[in-house]
Amino acid sequence: MKSRSKLSPVIVGLVTLLISTLAVAPQAGAAKSKFYVAKMVKAHLPAAPNNGTDDYRCFLLDPKVTEDSVIKSVEFVPQKKNYVHHAIMFRVTQADVAEAVAADKNGKGWPCFGGSGLGSMFSSFLTSPWLSSWAPGRGKDVSPKGYGIPFKKGEKLVLQVHYNLLAAGGGKIETDQSKIIIEAIPAKGATVKQLQVELFPAPVELACPAGVTGPLCDRKNSLLDLAARTSTTSAFEAAGINVLCKNDPFNPKPSLISRCDKVMDKHLTVIAAAPHMHLLGRSLKLILNPGTASEKILLNRQNYDFDDQSSTVLKTPIKVAPGDTIRVECTFDPTLRQKLPALRNLEPRYVTWGEGSSDEMCLGVIAATR
């Protein structure tokens, strides 16, 4: 698959926070559900490039939806649960269908880091928008009561699977042929609203703990290693998120706390929120207007567990106005690299933002209506 830009789609998505809006509709109580199953055409044997430990692979799936529909739930069913780190499902619009068919090579799939890799760096999240995601503990992705995601007749999906080869039992890698199950109702007669998904990233800068040394404890060496084992553009993500959060991208200060404020430019009503970190994460908060009289907690996930990244539906939706600030704040414990079975045999390193299982993220996600 040829590269269209020096920047991967995920960099653009995070730096600009440009992710497509998804239309949603009230679910008709009398409508009968239909179930559509889309399975990877061919089994894939995960393999990490450049002595890495992570394989990102995209596959084109056809759920064969027979009529314009409203999706009530999406369930990703991993065949190899032990080393599937996460999965993201994208809708493929007509603008990207031909490219997706060519890249898929009759079911073999294509390497994709971050986004689907379809379209240009500026259009990917618009022409192949995010439909759903899965991580350990998340289970079936069910729309909040009264909402659903429209899906047109004949539309296809891209399934991105991140294989964490560190978690393969005994080092044995086997083929995977995961699938997606969609529950939907007919769209005819539904009244459509809008649901917007917003991402809130913060930079991760974790120095090696006291007394822990090694060549990769140097930040520059660590970033070069990150690029070698994942993507040549990976190091730009760490810099881009630091710029986004008004930090020095070339000489950031290491900290056990990651924090970033985003000033909102539109009216939203937050319905649900979810956290995402990797194995060193301890807590994640999303705070509206922090330090003011109008401060409200959108999400407070203490004792973060990578195996439970389920979203939290707010008891009462919270309104956000232009000029309001939403802060994401994460805490980390880098000493876990020397304790966790999946990490303790790896070379010590300065940990930055990265999509590999041995890297880290601080990412809050909200779902909100306009």
- Those residues whose C-beta lies under 8 Å from the C-beta of residue 316, and which sit 6 or more positions away, are none
Q: Which residue range is the domain that position 365 belongs to? A: 195-369
User: Does any domain span residue 6?
Assistant: no
Whether residue 51 is contained in a domain is answered as yes
Determine contact, residues 180/75, Cβ cutoff 8 Å.
Answer: yes
Secondary structure (3-state) at 369: strand
- Are 271 and 265 in contact by the 8 Å Cβ rule? The answer is no
Of 146, 264, 149, the closest CA to residue 198 belongs to 264
Q: Are residues 213 and 174 in the same domain?
A: no
Q: What sign has the CA pseudo-torsion 41, 101, 88, 240?
A: positive
Same domain, 128 and 260: no
Q: How confident is the model at residue 3 (pLDDT cuts 50, 70, 90)?
A: very low
Instruction: Read off the tokens for 36.
Output: 């559509």
Alpha-carbon distance 219 to 216, whole Å? 7
Residues in the chain: 370
Domain boundary among 191, 222, 247: 191
- Find the mean pLDDT for residues 223-227: 90
Q: Which of 62-71, 136-145, 317-326, 360-369 shows the highest mean pLDDT?
A: 317-326
How far, in Å, CA of 273 to CA of 284, rounded? 11
**Lowest mean pLDDT, pick from 2-6, 205-209, 212-216:** 2-6
Domain assignment present for residue 9? The answer is no
- Please indicate, yes or no, whether residues 82 and 163 belong to a single structural domain of this protein: yes
Is the residue at 162 inside a domain? yes
- Which range of 79-83, 110-114, 257-261 scores highest in mean pLDDT? It is 257-261
Give the pLDDT confidence of 71-107 residue by residue, as tens digits.
888 999 998 777 888 898 988 887 888 999 999 999 9
Residues 6+ apart with CB under 8 A from 315: none
- Report yes or no on 121 lying in a domain: yes
In sequence order, which residues have a C-beta less than 8 Å from that of residue 78 and are 6 or more positions away?
84, 87, 134, 161, 176, 178
Could you tell me if residue 317 is inside a domain? Answer: yes
User: Of 191, 224, 251, which residue sits at a domain end?
Assistant: 191
| Listed residues 136, 162, 191: the one ending a domain | 191
Average pLDDT, the chain: 84
User: What would the mean pLDDT of 256-266 be, rounded to a whole number?
Assistant: 97
Query: Do the domain assignments include residue 243?
Result: yes
pLDDT by residue (tens digit) across 43-53?
A: 999 988 777 78
- Cα angle 31, 149, 131 (rounded to 5 degrees) comes to 140
Query: Are 289 and 185 contained in the same domain?
Result: no
pLDDT on residue 112 = 83
pLDDT above 90 (res 122): no
Domain match, 53 and 116 both:
yes
Pairing of strands 351-352, 296-301: unpaired
Q: Which two tokens stand for residue 225?
A: 């290693």
List the CATH number of the domain containing 112: 2.60.120.310
Residue 146: name the closest of 324, 272, 321, 328 by CA.
Answer: 272
Is 118:1 a contact under the CB 8 Å cutoff? no
Q: Do the Cβ atoms of 118 and 99 come closer than 8 Å?
A: yes
Whether 286 has a pLDDT exceeding 80, the answer reads: yes
Same-domain pairing of 329 and 342: yes
Q: Which residue, among 283, 288, 271, 284, has the nearest Cα to 326 in the 3D structure? A: 288
Residues 143 and 280 grouped into a single domain: no
Q: Are residues 112 and 175 in the same domain?
A: yes
Does 227 share its domain with 272? yes
- Do residues 171 and 320 share a domain? no
- Residues 30, 48: one domain? yes
Query: Considering its fold, how many domains does the chain have in total?
Result: 2
Task: Tell whether 236 and 169 lie within a shared domain.
Answer: no
Domain of 268, CATH number, reads 2.60.120
In a domain, residue 8? The reply is: no
